[in-house]
Copies of this chain bind each other. A is one copy, B any other.
Amino acid sequence: MGDHHIVVVGGGFGGLQVVNGLKGAGAKITLVDRRNHHLFQPLLYQVATTILSTSEIAWPIRHLFSDRPDVTTLLGEVDAVDTKVKQVTLRNGTTLRYDTLVLATGATHAYFGHDEWERVAPGLKTLEDATTIRRRVLLAFEHAELETDPAVRDALLTFTIVGAGPTGVELAGIIAELAHFTLPSEFRNIDTHKARVVLVEAGPRVLATFAEELSAYAQRALEKLGVETHLGEFVTDCTADGVRMGEKFIPSKTIVWAAGVEASPAAKWLGVAEDRAGRTIVEKDLRAPGLPDVFVIGDTASVMRENGSPVPGIAPAAKQQGEYVAKVIRAGLKGKDAPPAFRYRHQGSLATIGKSAAIIDFGRIKLRGWIAWWIWGLAHIYFLIGTRSRFAVAWSWLWIYLTGQQSARLITQRETIQEKK
C-alpha cells in the first residue's frame, strides 16, 4: 500500500463509486459515513409504503469492502475540514489527515425556511424517515377505526403529499393503492375506499422533468388510482391538523414532504462558493475551486452540463462523477495527464405510478404503461447491490404482484413529538 491517503466522506452512490474505482490504485483509502449502511435511495419510498423491508435496500458499507485491505471504513460524522493542514475532524474528535479528499455527503430535505414543518411533515431521506412515514400512515388508519367524530375521522383518512416529483408521485400512488385495494377488507368501522390521497405541487404539472406527454399520462394514471392532484398551489402552512395553500385548507393528519432538497454543508466546511440550494460550485474536473486536493461530487455538488443545464441529483449522475474522480486521482498518482473535463451522460428518467404504470423518458424514446413498469422493475433489481437483495426484492415484488398483499406493514418505534401533543 502506498503512502497516499485518500479520505472519502459519504457512502452513497458517489462515494462507493470512487472507492470501487480506486481498486488496486496503491493508495490507502478511508471511507467515512455517519451511517453504517449504504442506502438504495431510489426504493426508499417502498419501505415508507410497506412494500419492502429496511434490510432489503440497505447494506453494511464495511461489508462491501471486506475484501479490500486498502479500505478502512469508519462510522463518523464530519465536523470540520481544515484545508490548510489537510485534515478532517469527526464529531467524536477523531482526526484524519488526507492527501486527497472526496466529499460525497449528499443532500437532505428542505422546508424553504419553515423547519418547524418537519415535525408534522417528515421528508424521505433515511431509513428512519421511511419507517416514520410508514408508522404514521398505518397509525392514521388505526386511529380512524377507533374515532367516533366524523370530521376527525376524515382528517385521519386524508393523506397529503407535498411535491409531485418522482418521490411524491410514487408515494401518492402506493398510498392510494394501499387504501383502495389492500386494506378495505381489514377494517370494520371505516371504509378505507373513502381515504383521500392529495398531491400538492407548486409547478404546473406532475413530474416536470419529464416530457409533457409523459407528465400528462402520469397525471391520468394518478387520477385513475384516486389521487387528487392540486397543481400550481403553494403550501403556506403545515400543522398537525392539515395543509394550508393560501385560502384553501385541507384537513389532513398525515403529511409527507417531498418538495425540496438542501445540500450538505460541504461548501461551508471548505469555505468556497455555493449555489442557492447550498451545493458547492465545482470546477470542470469536480475539484473545489482553489483546492486541487479536494473533490466534491453527487448531490452536494453543483455541476453544469455542456448545454448549461444542471446535472440532475440522481444516482446515475453521482455514480458517473465518482467514476470520473477515481480516474482523475489514479492519473495523478501515476503522474499522468488528467482526463478531460467531466461530462454527464443522461441515460434516461424513470418514474412509477402505483403497481402497474410507469413512464420512461430516454430522450428520443418515450415509454409508458406496463412495459415501462417492467423495464423500471428490472432496471432497479439490476442495480441493487448484493445478490441476496436482488432475490429478496424480486420475491417481495412478485409476492405482492400475485397476492396484492404487502407484508412489511409494521408500526415500530414510538412517536417522540406527535404522541406527546
| Residue positions of A touching B, CB distance < 8 A | 35-37, 53-56, 58-60, 62-63, 65-67, 69, 72-76, 90, 92, 94, 127-128, 131, 138-139, 142-143, 145-146, 185-189, 386, 388-389, 391-392, 395, 399, 403, 405, 407-414, 416
Contacts and interface: CB of A to CB of B under 8 A. Distances in A.
A138 B410 contact: no
Given A75-B146, A185-B66, A407-B389, A413 B128 contact: yes
B76 A411 contact: no
Contacts of A139: 75
Question: How many monomers of this chain does the complex have?
Answer: 2
B388 A63 contact: no
Given A146-B94, A412-B127, A62 B399 contact: no
A214 to B, nearest CB: 33
A33 to B, nearest CB: 10
B411 A36 contact: yes
- Tell which of A69, A92, A388 has the most Cβ of chain B within 10 Å: A388
A74 B145 CA distance: 7
B409 A60 contact: yes
B67 A185 contact: yes
A74 B146 contact: yes
A96 to B, nearest CB: 11
B36 A409 contact: yes
B66 A146 contact: no
Contact of A131 (B66, B392, B411, B412): B412
Given A62-B186, A66-B186, A389-B407, 11 more contacts: A53-B56, A54-B54, A60-B410, A63-B405, A74-B142, A75-B142, A75-B146, A90-B146, A127-B410, A128-B412, A395-B395
A58 B413 CA distance: 14
A206 to B, nearest CB: 30
A58 B187 CA distance: 19
Nearest to A76: B146
A131 B416 CA distance: 17
Contacts of A128: 412-414
B388 A407 contact: yes
Contact of A411 (B37, B65, B403, B411): B37
